[in-house]
Amino acid sequence: MRIRVVQMNSVVGDVAGNLDRMLSFVEDARGTGVNILVFPEMSLAGYPPEDLLFRPGFLFAQAQAQEKLAACSGDMLVVAGYAYAEQRGLRNAAAVMAKGRTLARIAKQHLPNYGVFDEDRYFTPGEGTMLLQWKQWTLGISICEDLWYPDGPYLRQARNGANLLINISASPYSRGKSLMRQEMLATRADDASAYLVWNNLVGAQDELVFDGESAVFAPDGQVLARARAFAEDVLTIDLNRTPSQHRRWIDPRWRLGAVEENGVQRVEVPLAPVEDESQEERRLEEFPDTVESLYKALVLGLHDYIAKNGFGDVVVGLSGGIDSALTAVIAVDALGYQRVHGVFMPSNITSTTSYDDAYHLAQNLGIDWREIPIAPVMSAFMAELGPHFDDRPLDLAEENLQARIRGTLLMALSNKLSWLVLTTGNKSEMATGYSTLYGDMAGGFAVLKDVLKTEVFRLARYVNAQAGQPRIPANVLIKPPSAELRPDQKDEDSLPPYDILDQILKGYIEDDMTPEELIRSGLDVAAVELAVRLVNQNEYKRRQAPVGIKVTPRAFGRDRRMPITARIR
């Protein structure tokens, strides 16, 4: 049995474009001995399609596309994900096609409704057990979440004879998820004593990044092949059914537990397996380490947001600090240096060090450099506002005014030159409100929105190490972080040290720990109380922030949904 896994980057809503690409993969597989060609979950629709699913025209387009794909299936069994409507509601389904027709539609049974997932809002769950019989192979097909349950549909399929399990998936990336997910998949293959083919979507959609890493597992849970991370890939592998059969002969669990259920639907596959004398060389791509994965997720997230939305160039406000430096590097790696513009906007209190660091960064990256001083604009604002400020001392109003002038300048360049503004704030700042509405928060896409400050430093060191030279100037990595909106300002004047703050934020935001639990874990009482208060009172700011890339288990936005008006102690 030769199986080809197409780890594909679909575009949400572009049914015709997705179909064209899928048909090209079908044509590429002809004459290569491929028996089964597998596409990811929702490969025709893109994932997640959200409320596009309520549009009849979108569903009709998918139905037509699925019929065209079936018509071209020929002597291969083609499995592809899409949404279709029936009397009982919408289904998240796998279409199984061969010989120019649709043999089966298998609906997802477990609909995730947590974190970023809202599938209960749209879909009706599937039911029952369906198997496809192909000579001596019995196939069980499931969709994403169905495999995350230890006693899910895959196990019923195996107990009713399935020796090859295929799961099509759209499982998004988050920090540390890859190894945990692969361990789960290996366990499922071992529990089922069956081959497991897992095809995961790749690419980015708004906040989400899908990392791919599709894989094939042996009946003992050993990984046989793995596709690349964060890139489209095609994985082809030859399988022999003997290992699955042998494990079930010698394992007493299968002698006792493999009892035929009533009502199992069996579908005969009208194809003769195509035997090919050649053997595909098994390819096992390595997992990127944690920092590399995080960086690749950010690059892919930015690249696809720009490409799929039809944007051209991007502009970054360069401050000489580490956040804008890392944002610019990511933009260059995602889009190429020709499409990245850096704008330095000094005030009367901007240091020469900031100028030097920003300028050398732009030189290192080869990006367009522009300088627009804000002092004349600030003077004009103060001339008009001064009489209304009633001789009050300088405070946050004047500091934020500088940030808002910079935001206005960047947005003016965006409007005039069609550049998308990339904001540079990180998760630590977003969490505590250490940012200015309509100032440094003004823009179209927030690359570092879900990256804590300590991770920003880690990523900056990573990009320099990978390059073998300081793409980000060395001084940027060692100087104390500062918003530089008043003389001698340091972030730690207003916030706990970032190594402490980020521990608090991770515990409070990602792990839902209470302040008392954080304090009992050894964290400073005053730091915990300040950080928690800032997080709670700044939800209104985050609600107005631009969309950004999700890379942690709990990101702000659609993942962590908190009320603005809430009396939380």
DSSP assignment string, 482-540: ---SSTT--GGGTS--HHHHHHHHIIIIIS---HHHHHHTT--HHHHHHHHHHHHHTHH
Tell me, what CATH number does 24's domain have?
A: 3.60.110.10
- Interior CA angle at 568 toward 565 and 569, to 5°? 155
* 563 lies in some domain: no
**Angle, helix 498-505 to helix 453-467, in steps of 10 degrees:** 110
Same domain, 453 and 388: yes
Please indicate, yes or no, if residue 453 is contained in any of the structural domains: yes
Assign 343 to helix, strand or coil.
strand
Helix (DSSP H) and strand (DSSP E) numbers for the chain:
18, 20
Same structural domain, 398 and 347:
yes
* Number of domains present in the structure of the chain: 3
From the candidates 108, 308, 449, 550, give the one annotated as an active-site residue.
108
Residue 277 domain flag: no
Task: Give domain status of residue 564, yes or no.
Answer: no
Q: State residue 90's pLDDT score.
A: 96
Here the CATH number for the domain that contains residue 409 is 3.40.50.620
473 plus 508 within the same structural domain: no
Residues 190 and 310 in one domain: no
Catalytic residue among 119, 144, 207, 550: 144
| Known active-site residue 144 | yes
Q: What is the mean pLDDT of each run of 10 residues along the chain (569 residues)?
A: 96 98 97 96 97 96 98 96 94 97 97 91 94 93 96 93 96 93 96 96 97 96 96 95 75 61 86 67 86 97 97 97 97 98 96 96 98 97 93 90 96 97 97 94 96 97 94 95 85 90 96 96 96 94 95 91 81
| Domain shared by 45 and 175, yes or no | yes
Residue 555 lies in a domain: no
181: Cβ contacts below 8 Å, ≥ 6 apart:
171, 213
Same domain, 472 and 522: no
pLDDT of residue 2: 94
- The domain boundary, picked from 235, 268, 301, lies at 268
Same domain, 480 and 515: no
Q: Is 458 within the bounds of a domain?
A: yes
Instruction: Reply yes or no on whether 429 is catalytic.
Output: no
* Domain shared by 178 and 236, yes or no: yes
Same-domain status, 361 and 476: yes
Here the tokens at position 46 are: 């893109």
Task: Return d(Cα 453, Cα 441) in angstroms, integer.
Answer: 16
Distance CA 402, CA 157 (A): 63
Q: Distances in Å between the alpha carbon of 325 and those of 362, 366, 460, 464?
A: 9, 13, 8, 12
User: Residue 59 corresponds to which amino acid?
Assistant: L
Domain boundary among 213, 237, 268: 268
Half-sphere exposure in the Cβ direction for 108 (13 Å, CA): 32
Angle at 110 between CA 105 and CA 112, to 5 degrees: 120
Asked whether residue 505 is assigned to any structural domain, the reply reads yes
Helix ranges (H only) for 240-321 are: 242-250, 252-257, 290-308
- Reported pTM: 0.94
d(CA 452, CA 432): 11
pLDDT at 274: 61
Query: Do residues 224 and 216 make contact, with C-beta atoms less than 8 angstroms apart?
Result: yes
Which residue out of 41, 119, 484, 539 is catalytically annotated? 41
Residue 276 within any structural domain of the chain: no
Full residue range of the structural domain in which residue 307 is found: 290-491+538-542
Q: Same structural domain for residues 371 and 344? A: yes
Q: Are residues 346 and 216 in the same domain?
A: no
pLDDT of residue 255: 59
Same domain, residue pair 256 and 306: no
What pLDDT is attached to residue 242? Answer: 79
Residue that finishes a domain, picked among 268, 300, 322: 268
